[in-house]
Structure 1
Amino acid sequence: MTEKYQSREERRKSQGNNNKKKQPKKQKRSLFKRILIIMFSLGILFMVAGAITFFVLASGAPPLDEALLKDPLSSKVYDINGKKIYEFGAEKRTFVPIDEIPDDLKNAVIAVEDARFYKHHGLDVIRLGGAVIANITEGYGAEGASTISQQVIKNSFFTQDKKLKRKVQELWMAFQLERKYSKEQILEMYLNKIYYGVGNTYGVAKAAELYYGKTLDELTLEESAFIAGVGNNPGLFNPYTHPERAEKRRNIVLNLMEKNNFITKEEATAAKTTAIDATLVASKEESQPIDSFLDQVKKELKEQGGIDVYTAGLKIYTSFDPDAQAHIDSLLNNEGDVQFPNDEFQAGIALIDTQTGEIRALGGGRNQSANSRINFAIDPLNQPGSTIKPIIDYGPAIENLKWSTYHQIVDEPTTYTGSDKKINNVDFKYLGQMTIRTALAKSRNTTAVKTFREVGGKKAREFAVNLGMPFSENEVNEAYAIGGTEGGISPLQMAGAYAAFGNNGNFNKPHAVKKIIYPDDTEVVMAPESVPVMKEATAFMITDMLKSVLEPGGSAAGYDVSGLPIAGKTGTTNYDSKTAQKYNIESGVPDVWFSGYTTNYTISIWTGYKDNITPIKNKERNIAKQLFRDIITYVSKDKDTKDFVKPNSVVKVGVEKGTNPAKLPSEFTPKEDIVYEYFIKGTEPTEISDKYDKLTSPTDLVATYNAEKNEIALSWNFPKDKLDGISFEVSASIDEGPGIVQGTLKDLTYTMVNPIPGAIYSFTIVAVSDDNKENRSDPISSKIEIPIIPDITNPGDDNGNGNDNGEGNGNGDGNDDGNGDDDTGIDIPDIPPLPPGDVNDQSNGRKGN
């Protein structure tokens, strides 16, 4: 439809408006072009800046020294005194030319380490891309993208940290390496640098000799695949100690070889059918005592950015105490007072500094070969038994629930929650109500599980994890309360946890390496920082409770050391019913522990057998305690060992035994019924027990004389509801003389026979507690005068020899012979004779009439 305009002016205006409407499209296109230009310019700028940064960072790279490329730098290890004790990489290296290395081995290494080795020039962009994504999503350093060329450079020239500058320099030098050397030469360097574990062995030639007793040209496909895979982590994939891991690793290498067309599927399948240990040679080399400590050194440096001590050229300063290590070694070699039952019996020992967590010595085991040895000191292999109780039960209870060391708990038949499975104590008995101090000292299982329930699994796990226990989330259950963990705990981990109790609640991760110095003199302090993980009150109260373990009645009674304040805990585990039935085990236990500490040293010891099946029996159960006592005595000699100091947040309070909740003793509470325990300040008891209040006095004492029987009958009253545990002490005096106890009886009556005629008797009755003789009531008294009745049938002579009421003598004594017992059956002490008098003196002598 054609628009009509009234005038040319309207047409111009209309066209002008249309032009204005179309103008923004041109502006948008112009803006888009400007943005593209800016982005392009920024891209170029960033590229230039990146290139400049790269070359600036790369400019500090060391020169490409051919000697370093072929001969890795050894690392020296120093003890606590600064004396060199070992050198990693100083021996067992054989350089083999590339043309003497079989293709299967070369291909296996390439497949697992750098599949695109022949396609890149030092940097694998495709592999780098995957690593970049992993580093962005999982954090810097999460995944490496190093090529074989980069690994050669890293192992020859650099530290193992993942700082940007070092990575840039490494990449720059890898480019240089690729320009200067052929792929075959670079591969040759790498294959002769790989570390293979036992006895400082590295290089593929030594690996073939170590594991198979062969030269390289004699290796089979599966053997080559294993050697290629084990170099990644020879400890983890040790075929002698971890055959399943080793076989799995070998098969992964075979899969990668197939994937990269180095071998066929049929070849891979056939190679996988060979057992990993089918052609392994037996280990001939005996392990050295220091190997256990060096294992920990390597482990810590591996965790510090993957440092390879065999090629890094480090100076490694450690906390190693050669004197303590030598003593532990002598014990493990049966050279001390501790005697082992046989050569197969094993022990793992960790000795650390309580205040710093520094490892002084490690005993990794006994009579083991270098290839097949297990480090029982640092490998978490065995359940901890009751040594876990302070860590997951009582420690969390004091920390979270503010329990005192007196807190009452009942040892009684108990089952696991939601189950009818009974929780047994070691003696299959139940001891009733007791303090948690007693429960821990006697290692009662039912009370430990009850305590765990009170705390709750979440808080118990959190407390334990803060002490270095490797418990994953949702893993902890009631079985953990008595050491039935799903995974194992190492003596070193246990020592670290116990040391925190002795260090005022501060946890230091056990460590062997104090600092390292790189070839370029860069110094790195390795000691971890101390972390407060519990209140001082908790640490002190657990420590004081653990002292009771070594006191009479405790599970380690008799293993204390005179003059040393020691806290510690025993631990044993049991076979499950299936294992016991399968191996026909009727008695014995698989693991026995002792962990203990002073303010200076902490020691944790595991004993048992390598197979964890052979039972520990009889006196063998004491070996862990014997080792502890021997070692703690040795390291503490000539060293001031202070006692553990009570913090101001804790108060010591006397409590009347058995009160629940705790009550203060009254002034009448027997001393033997008062126990002194520790409370967190503000939670101590304030109520006084009335159990031993001053006793109620007897009432209504009546004394009656029976002339016919010549006897005095006493009777009194006492509240019937208070008679339990009460006796009555009866005292008598004559003519206001001293009162003499006649006896103590349960009845409310008493009879005195043959009283003296004419005498005035005063009787006193006092209620006395059977439990506390010092708790006595106020006395009640009564007097009675005995009448004189003449005896006309038997008049006495002038000498006073009458026999009416007694044998009168010439001195006028009228008392009986003092041997008369009353009719209560109670032996009545003699009434002292009256003073002698003249026979004619009626006032003094009891004259016989």
Structure 2
Amino acid sequence: MTTNHSRTARRRQKKTMKKPLWKKILMTLFIIFIFAGLGVTTVFGYFIATAPKIDFDKLDVPYASQFYDKNGDPFAEIGAENRVKIEYDDLPEVLINAVTATEDARFFDHPGIDIRRIGGAIKANIQHGFGSEGASTITQQVVENMFLTPEKSIKLKVQEQWLALKLEREFSKEQILEMYLNKIFYGSNAYGVAKAAEVYFGKEDLHDLTLVEAAMLAGLPQRPTAYNPFENPDLMAERVDTVLKLMVRHGKITQEEADEARNTDIASVLTDKKPKSFPYDAYIQQVQRELEDKLEGVDYNTAGLKVYTALDTSIQDHVEFLLTDSDENPISYPDDELLAGMTVVDTKSGAIQAIGGSRNREDAFGSNYAIDANRQGGSTMKPLLAYGPAIEYEKWSTYHQINDDAPYDFGGANPIQNWNRQYQGWMSARYALKESLNVPAVKTMEEIGFDRAQTFAEGLGINFHNDEVWITDAIGGTETNVSPLQLAGAYSAFGNEGIYTEPYAVVKVEFPDGSVVDLKPESEAVMSDYTAYMVTDMLKSVLSDGTGTNANIPGLPVAGKTGTTNVSGKSGANNSWFSGYTTNYSIAIWTGYKEHNRIIEDTQIPHALFKNTMTEISKDIETSDFVKPDSVVEVAVEKGSNPPALPSSYTPKENIVTELFVKGTEPSSVSEKFDELDPVSGLTAKYNEGNNSIDVSWKYDADADVSFEVAYKVGDGDFKQLTTTSDLQVAITEVEQDTTYTIQVTAVSNENNSKSAAQSTTVTIGNEEEPDDEEPDEPIPSVEGLSASFNEANASINVTWQYNGPSAQFEVDINGSKQTVQSKSVQINGATPGNTYTITVTPIADGNRGESRNTSITVPANDNNDDQNNDDPGNDDDSNNDDNTDDEPNDDDADQDEREDEQ
């Protein structure tokens, strides 16, 4: 028995061992499948069990969203008003067909979820990631907006589908469609389809809607702000075309009907009566854009959200005040038609503090020039595409030498010129930027490389037209357009040690169930701290003594850049910009006209808006200066040395400049340009009683080409410059009695301005007669540094001079026409091309006249080469001085302007 049992056991063991491997695999997979199914069923069951209950009150009552400012105080309620409720019988068939074809073609056939759409969505999500494509029916959209958050998760999607099935069991299709169309947001402060028809078309009876109007209403809810037909009729036309194609595909209309509707001009069906604006609606526009982009599928107008924003109402109120005409407004706009847009951003966080969308804002959700990128940026692009990348990638110093030798021929119709049509040879990057010269900027970008320049600017939020960079992008003269919001964000990174945060209005959103979604973007280091600081330091020079002096704020550490563009064949600017920042705020401003080719009378308005706003918002807070990082060193270099060299002990002070270098790249060699000059010898001074003068003489035996600086002081006073002469003698006239004169003579090289050691002598003047009670008349010196320059932007000649003498007036003779002024400058307006002007200036003090000085200038004759964008330094007069000029990239600049007008 034992043997038989053992044999049986062995046979069973052999039989088991012979079972095929594939059966084992199948059995294993089957077991795994069973357990997985049980797991999924358990998890889905949990999702369904924890789904929120359907609150039937929410289905009938719209839940408005509350908007809160940076302090947590409410400032707006969106979705509570401006709504007209309708019933299903009020809906025309054309509207029902348009909506269902667009949103849910099988709406009247499915039980709340569409299995076919779910299958397609699953495939797309496997291919492109979860959440890439949805399969929500109209019923699911009602459920999601009323009861769920927009989070992309399997749990919420299961709950959404479960609740949609439950809703379909409680309500008819007609009632659900009625709910959907009563609650949805259509833009322009219109809630529900009935109010939308009234706002856009002026129609109170929906049965009066045409096919194209129904298609517009069906297409708007996807992106109500972007498709706003009042502002973006072209985008709306594209959306209507999509809706009509869907209606044809699903058999709702014929192809002939679609073609006829397609030919309808969008603007022709709109009402002339636009919704009126309300407080902060320009800021709310940006909030809505961010909610649409970041909370896809959520109708914030009906979802009862708490939207926490970065709005600073005090700053917003001031910005809106400056953009609204009133007797109290300090900004003098040239006319009522000039448009403006302004954005104020927190430099460190990127939080949008205020948005000024337009001047005298009347239409709700109308054109918003602060957030719409539809204008060329002019020379505000130079730090972003030229000098910033040069420092970042090549570690250029602020002294780096660039040859501004001639107009730059880039192969276009006309070469790129500087705004002043002057070319000064080798110059520092700092000087080229503060004077906003075009030729050095385009040479810089070309040397750095277009790819690297584009990468740098894109890191700062700049989007390029057709993702392509032109040489003239460096001066903002291409089809690449920017907005004040983009520029304020880009410049904030320079003021924040190279850290960029995409500007944002929405901080966080709280849903009715208490869940919170943080919508602040992540900050990113987009450049080195040395780049940020060195660009900032150069942009401080723009305000201190460059093209942006009218925007400078004494006592406040501030940096910024001017920018203008012009129109081919016209003189003057059609866009004017200013973008500037402190360590607290970054502000960008644009002005221009609706007509892209219209010339601006006063390009200094952005400067005035910036100065006023930054002064106001900075008055009660501490504004720290920009801190130099350890990666940057300040080095004194000899001006004109190339490559940079350290000054020698003989380098004149006026030939030494202090510039910034990336640590480790500073110069170490010492210049040998200046040698020590021999001093004068035999210096004597004798009093000439007959002439009441001091005769000074000296010797100079060296062969060097020199002049002599002569200075003197009376008693213990300070030295005064007497003259610079090539002679070996001078006379000091009308000397004072009973005092000692000290005379000092220095040899100065005529080749490089190097100086010798000063030699001095003294002479004491005695007076045997009784002293006169009256002080002798102080000599009246002539003016110094008399110069005249032509300002092409407003056809004027600026005349300036210096004066170091007793209080005086100045007689100015211009080609025989005389005037007397107190200031040390005059402006000659209406200068005639081709004419020569001779200007003579004579100081007059107490009836005594000083020696006259004169200069001449010839005004250039007119030419037709005005298709460059011009930058002209501003001044304190009300003249039309332009800041920056930028060239169009195309071979035909006129064609470019036509394309701009078509956009």
When normalised by structure 2's length, the TM-score is 0.74
Residues 281 and 728 (structure 1 numbering): CA distance in 2 closer, same or farther, change over 3 Å? closer
How far did residue 642 of structure 1 move?
A: 1.3
User: Contact 2:387/2:535 (CA < 8 Å) preserved in 1?
Assistant: yes
Residues 778 and 77 (structure 1 numbering): CA distance in 2 closer, same or farther, change over 3 Å? closer
Which residue number in structure 1 is paired with residue 462 of structure 2?
469
Residues 80 and 305 (structure 1 numbering): CA distance in 2 closer, same or farther, change over 3 Å? closer
User: Contact 1:198/1:370 (CA < 8 Å) preserved in 2?
Assistant: no
Superposed CA deviations along residues 611-631 of structure 1, whole A, max 9, x for unmatched, are 3232212xx201010100010
1:330 is the counterpart of 2:321: yes
1:405 is the counterpart of 2:394: no
Which residue number in structure 2 is paired with residue 315 of structure 1?
306
SS class of match (1:573) = strand
User: Contact 1:72/1:156 (CA < 8 Å) preserved in 2?
Assistant: no
Provide the rounded CA distance (Å) in 1 between the counterparts of 2:753 and 2:28.
102
How far did residue 452 of structure 1 move?
A: 0.3
Q: Of 435, 451, 459, which residue of structure 1 is paired with 2:452?
A: 459
Greater mean alpha carbon deviation, residues 464-473 or residues 326-335 = 464-473
Q: Of 464, 487, 491, which residue of structure 2 is paired with 1:498?
A: 491
1:629 is the counterpart of 2:611: yes
User: Contact 2:679/2:700 (CA < 8 Å) preserved in 1?
Assistant: no
User: Contact 2:277/2:365 (CA < 8 Å) preserved in 1?
Assistant: no
1:157 is the counterpart of 2:147: yes
1:209 is the counterpart of 2:198: yes
SS class of match (1:110) = helix
| Aligned pairs (5 A) from 1:125-274 | 125-199=115-189, 201-214=190-203, 215-274=205-264
Provide the rounded CA distance (Å) in 1 between the counterparts of 2:89 and 2:146.
22
| Aligned pairs (5 A) from 1:530-569 | 530-552=523-545, 554-569=546-561
Query: CA-atom RMSD, angstroms?
Result: 3.1
Return 5+ residue gaps in structure 1 as ranges.
Answer: 1-22, 581-585, 700-713, 731-742, 750-764, 780-849
1:515 is the counterpart of 2:508: yes
The AA in structure 2 aligned to 1:462 is T
User: Contact 2:560/2:578 (CA < 8 Å) preserved in 1?
Assistant: yes
Superposed CA deviations along residues 298-357 of structure 1, whole A, max 9, x for unmatched, are 122222231332122111111111111111111111231102222221111000111111
User: Contact 2:307/2:508 (CA < 8 Å) preserved in 1?
Assistant: yes
How far did residue 294 of structure 1 move?
A: 0.6
Q: What percentage of residue pairs aligned between the two structures are identical?
A: 48
Provide the rounded CA distance (Å) in 2 between the counterparts of 1:90 and 1:614.
41
Which residue number in structure 2 is paired with residue 435 of structure 1?
428
The AA in structure 1 aligned to 2:564 is T
Provide the rounded CA distance (Å) in 1 between the counterparts of 2:322 and 2:746.
65
How far did residue 483 of structure 1 move?
A: 0.8
> More relative contact order in 1 or in 2 (CA 8 Å, sep 6+)?
2
User: Contact 2:540/2:560 (CA < 8 Å) preserved in 1?
Assistant: yes
How far did residue 119 of structure 1 move?
A: 2.5
Bigger radius of gyration: 1
Which residue number in structure 2 is paired with residue 382 of structure 1?
375
Provide the rounded CA distance (Å) in 2 between the counterparts of 1:289 and 1:625.
25
Superposed CA deviations along residues 562-597 of structure 1, whole A, max 9, x for unmatched, are 21111000001122x3xx5xxxxx332221100001
User: Contact 2:64/2:79 (CA < 8 Å) preserved in 1?
Assistant: yes
SS class of match (1:70) = coil
The AA in structure 1 aligned to 2:472 is A
1:677 is the counterpart of 2:653: no
Provide the rounded CA distance (Å) in 2 between the counterparts of 1:766 and 1:99.
102
SS class of match (2:551) = coil
User: Contact 1:717/1:748 (CA < 8 Å) preserved in 2?
Assistant: no
Provide the rounded CA distance (Å) in 1 between the counterparts of 2:707 and 2:575.
53
Provide the rounded CA distance (Å) in 1 between the counterparts of 2:184 and 2:725.
92
Which residue number in structure 2 is paired with residue 364 of structure 1?
357
1:607 is the counterpart of 2:600: no
Provide the rounded CA distance (Å) in 2 between the counterparts of 1:207 and 1:263.
23
How far did residue 385 of structure 1 move?
A: 0.7
Provide the rounded CA distance (Å) in 2 between the counterparts of 1:450 and 1:242.
38
Residues 98 and 776 (structure 1 numbering): CA distance in 2 closer, same or farther, change over 3 Å? same
Provide the rounded CA distance (Å) in 1 between the counterparts of 2:400 and 2:82.
61
User: Contact 1:697/1:718 (CA < 8 Å) preserved in 2?
Assistant: no
Superposed CA deviations along residues 185-209 of structure 1, whole A, max 9, x for unmatched, are 211111112211112x121111111
Superposed CA deviations along residues 779-813 of structure 1, whole A, max 9, x for unmatched, are 9xxxxxxxxxxxxxxxxxxxxxxxxxxxxxxxxxx
Provide the rounded CA distance (Å) in 1 between the counterparts of 2:747 and 2:535.
43
How far did residue 697 of structure 1 move?
A: 8.1
User: Contact 1:114/1:147 (CA < 8 Å) preserved in 2?
Assistant: yes
SS class of match (1:172) = helix
SS class of match (2:455) = helix
Return 5+ residue gaps in structure 2 as ranges.
Answer: 1-13, 682-697, 711-722, 730-744, 760-903
Superposed CA deviations along residues 742-782 of structure 1, whole A, max 9, x for unmatched, are x9986999xxxxxxxxxxxxxxx996534788722799xxx
Residues 409 and 289 (structure 1 numbering): CA distance in 2 closer, same or farther, change over 3 Å? farther
SS class of match (2:421) = coil
Which residue number in structure 1 is paired with residue 271 of structure 2?
281
Provide the rounded CA distance (Å) in 1 between the counterparts of 2:427 and 2:603.
26
Provide the rounded CA distance (Å) in 1 between the counterparts of 2:752 and 2:380.
39
Provide the rounded CA distance (Å) in 2 between the counterparts of 1:608 and 1:456.
32
User: Contact 1:496/1:510 (CA < 8 Å) preserved in 2?
Assistant: yes
| Aligned pairs (5 A) from 1:588-737 | 588-617=572-601, 620-695=602-677, 718=702, 723=704, 725-727=705-707
How far did residue 442 of structure 1 move?
A: 0.5
User: Contact 2:65/2:305 (CA < 8 Å) preserved in 1?
Assistant: yes
Provide the rounded CA distance (Å) in 1 between the counterparts of 2:216 and 2:747.
89
Residues 727 and 128 (structure 1 numbering): CA distance in 2 closer, same or farther, change over 3 Å? same
The AA in structure 2 aligned to 1:656 is E
How far did residue 696 of structure 1 move?
A: 5.9
SS class of match (1:209) = helix
Provide the rounded CA distance (Å) in 2 between the counterparts of 1:325 and 1:768.
58
The AA in structure 1 aligned to 2:324 is N
Residues paired across the two proteins, number: 706
How far did residue 386 of structure 1 move?
A: 0.5
Provide the rounded CA distance (Å) in 2 between the counterparts of 1:744 and 1:471.
56
How far did residue 40 of structure 1 move?
A: 4.2
The AA in structure 2 aligned to 1:594 is F
Which residue number in structure 2 is paired with residue 574 of structure 1?
566
SS class of match (2:399) = coil
The AA in structure 2 aligned to 1:128 is I
How far did residue 541 of structure 1 move?
A: 0.8
Provide the rounded CA distance (Å) in 1 between the counterparts of 2:633 and 2:552.
26
1:769 is the counterpart of 2:749: yes
The AA in structure 2 aligned to 1:415 is Y
| Aligned pairs (5 A) from 1:77-88 | 77-88=67-78
SS class of match (1:693) = coil
How far did residue 496 of structure 1 move?
A: 0.6
SS class of match (1:406) = coil
Residues 452 and 102 (structure 1 numbering): CA distance in 2 closer, same or farther, change over 3 Å? same
Which residue number in structure 1 is paired with residue 53 of structure 2?
63
Which residue number in structure 1 is paired with residue 796 of structure 2?
none
The AA in structure 1 aligned to 2:462 is M
Residues 727 and 606 (structure 1 numbering): CA distance in 2 closer, same or farther, change over 3 Å? closer
